[in-house]
Amino acid sequence: MKHTVKIFTLVFIVLMLSFTSCEQESVYLEDITVYDVKVLTMIADTAVHQTGIALLVPSDDFELEQTYSVSLTGPQNDLRWEKMLKPVKADKRIGLFFNDILMPPYRSFPSGLYTVEVFKDDASFIETSIEYKRKERDEKLSDINPRWIIEDNKTFFVFDMEGNHTCSVTFYDGQGNELAQMKTRENLTEVASMSPEEVRKILIVANDDSSSTVDVYRYIISD
């Protein structure tokens, strides 16, 4: 009789676990958008070039306050990137924006079949694959020569960039604190909320309006 009770209890526990797992909210992933990324980091007169990608993983099932763990695994399982992300709203869609997927300097980002996994706090996850082929953008980014111009007691931030881009420009101090951020389609923008002397890092992210490409410029300013 004791054995029968133990077996019944074990079966009951297994059934309850199965029922609980079926009650977990499912997440349906829509088509993932892949952006080609190129990075130029300037430290004094030294230029460091990198290639990478960024992913927009959309789903109407994402909860804006929920934190998700997202991973990307390379074609040969020898490359893997992981990041904790909260969903954002972009172009009337809710999705996870996974950036900083970069290769080491001077190595091309490989084409092939990549695996994307999205984990929730309750340990449930969804997996999908994307076929990636690097676009023919082998030319390296050139220095866009960012600088300050002061005219009529006004401070302007200027850089040399060709083409139709929407740029996000962020300024940081020596401790990595954000001083100011702005979005612009112009190569000359007035900056009134900070002093140029405070700036020790400039991050310029340029989205090409005609294609899914992103160019990233990082400028480290030494004392």
Q: Is residue 190 scored above 90 in pLDDT?
A: no
Question: What CA–CA distance (Å, rounded) separates 119 from 96?
Answer: 12
Our count of domains for the chain comes to 2
Q: The CATH number of the domain where 160 resides is what?
A: 2.60.40
Same domain, 119 and 151: no
Residue where a domain stops, chosen among 132, 162, 183: 132
- Does a structural domain hold residue 45? no
Q: Which residues contact 156 (CB under 8 A, 6 or more apart)?
A: 148, 149, 150, 188, 189, 190, 191
Same domain, 122 and 180: no
Q: Is residue 192 scored above 90 in pLDDT?
A: no
Strand order in the sheet with 80-85: 80-85, 68-73, 112-119, 125-132
Same domain, 127 and 57: yes
More confident site: 58 or 190:
58
Q: Which of 201, 160, 151 is nearest to 43 (CA)?
A: 201
Q: Is residue 6 scored above 70 in pLDDT?
A: no
- Does a structural domain hold residue 43? no
Same domain, 172 and 123: no
Same domain, 155 and 115: no
Q: Given this model, what pLDDT does residue 27 score?
A: 54
pTM (2 d.p.): 0.77
Summarize the confidence of residues 124-133 as an average pLDDT. 87
Q: Given this model, what pLDDT does residue 129 score?
A: 92
Domain of 200 in residue numbering reads as 147-220
- Does a structural domain hold residue 213? yes
Q: Is residue 14 scored above 80 in pLDDT?
A: no
Q: Is residue 38 scored above 50 in pLDDT?
A: yes
Question: What CA–CA distance (Å, rounded) separates 128 from 221?
Answer: 41
Summarize the confidence of residues 130-158 as an average pLDDT. 86
- Does a structural domain hold residue 170? yes
Same domain, 121 and 155: no
| Gyration radius of the chain over CA positions | 23
Percent over 90 (pLDDT), the chain: 47
Same domain, 126 and 151: no
Q: Given this model, what pLDDT does residue 23 score?
A: 38
